[in-house]
A = this chain, B = another copy of it.
Amino acid sequence: MVEQSREMPTLDEVARVAGVSRSTASRAINGQVYVSAKAREAVTNAVASLGYSPNLLARSLATKRTNSIALVLSERGDTVLADPFFARVLRGVHAGLSGSGMQLVLLMAQDEQAQGELGQYLCAGHVDGALVVSLHGDDPLPDQLASSGLPVVLLGRPLAKVDVPYVDADNSTGGELAAAHLVERGRRHIATIAGPRDMAAGIDRLSGWRRGMTAAKRRPAGVVHADFTAAGGAAAMRELLAAYPEVDGVFAASDLMAVGAMQVLREAGRRIPQDVAVVGFDDSELAETAVPPLTSVRQPIEEMGRAITLRLIAQINAVADQPSSVLLPTELVPRESS
């Protein structure tokens, strides 16, 4: 059992020391308006001398406001945390939270069973709202949460038609930019290493790339799906080289896959960009440190994290006229790989 030697002062003691009632002490502490200057000062002094700090649990129980939101990683926690994407999201969430007085509770679905408990936990009123980072578009969690009345905002477009606001990057335009860029670089046989078919990011980047190819009147030279990892990108590149040896331009739907692909190209004796131009997606640190540095479609991940947070806070505070969902712009960052 816990054995904490520290007895924190309570509101009652503050009131006693200040010589006012508990109600008045509470009002003074919360900066309410109907408090005499004299009472306010007495309370302020009492708070300082006692080192009082309100028990947020008790406050929450009384106000039904927890002043905390959950960041839910609806993926196997051990996997998703390996992804630098997540750290960037977290930075954005942190930025969005700053100054709001809200705390962040981090929740992860460890397995299918935990998934259910997670939903229950969230719906039981322990947080004021939830940010759900759901990489798989068909995740049932967002819908489950939202239908319980919990304010929820998603990072990433859900695949199913659920009535939950989301923030995503403009993946489709990003894919289009990549295609246009490779065309502009004079590439004649352009292939893509697409993301998974069950993730919006995979689907949207591919459809955008297809649109870009069509706009340039080009026939795609090959489409292979992979899982956004370096190993997956490498395997996909091997497949592409075998099936389309003439390939001279590749759009990989993630930097990690692009790096894997570049490794395979190098091993196959293809020079980058002279023989094959490569474009990634994310504009991660990986893109800068790759050899050669990787042209990549930038998505503003930190901003996305910040946006979902602000959006959620607004929803919790019932601020009217919130846009239901938002796509943040993507842009192409040219480097030496193309």
Contacts and interface: CB of A to CB of B under 8 A. Distances in A.
Contacts of A88: 81-82
A167 interface: no
Contact of A78 (B61, B95, B150): B95
22 contacts: A1-B317, A2-B65, A2-B316, A4-B150, A5-B149, A6-B150, A8-B123, A8-B124, A53-B121, A55-B61, A55-B125, A55-B126, A57-B60, A57-B66, A61-B61, A71-B106, A82-B91, A103-B107, A104-B105, A105-B105, A106-B106, A230-B289
Interface residues of A, number: 61
Interface of A: 1-6, 8, 53-58, 60-61, 64-66, 68, 71, 77-78, 81-84, 86-88, 90-91, 94-95, 98, 103-108, 110, 120-121, 123-126, 128, 148-151, 230, 259, 286, 289-291, 316-318
B2 A128 contact: yes
B103 A103 contact: no
A123 B53 CA distance: 9
Given A57-B60, A91-B77, A149 B259 contact: no
Contacts of A65: 2
A206 B101 CA distance: 41
Given A78-B95, A91-B81, A124-B53, A6 B149 contact: yes
B58 A61 contact: yes
A338 B9 CA distance: 60
Q: Which 8 A-B pairs have the closest CB atoms?
A: A6-B149, A53-B124, A81-B91, A5-B149, A291-B291, A104-B106, A77-B94, A87-B87
Contact of A103 (B53, B94, B105, B124): B105
A323 B266 CA distance: 50
User: A87, A95, A107 — which one has the most chain B CB atoms within 10 A of its CB?
Assistant: A87
A94 B123 contact: no
A98 B109 CA distance: 10
A83 B110 CA distance: 24
A8 B125 contact: yes
A121 B57 CA distance: 12
Contacts of A318: 1-3
Contacts of A291: 291
Given A56-B124, A57-B60, A87-B87, 5 more contacts: A6-B149, A8-B123, A81-B94, A84-B84, A106-B106
Contacts of A110: 98
A155 to B, nearest CB: 16
Contacts of A6: 123, 125, 148-150
B56 A126 contact: yes
A265 to B, nearest CB: 13
Contacts of A53: 120-121, 123-124
Nearest to A147: B6
A332 B87 CA distance: 27
Contacts of A149: 4-6
A126 B6 CA distance: 13
Contacts of A60: 57
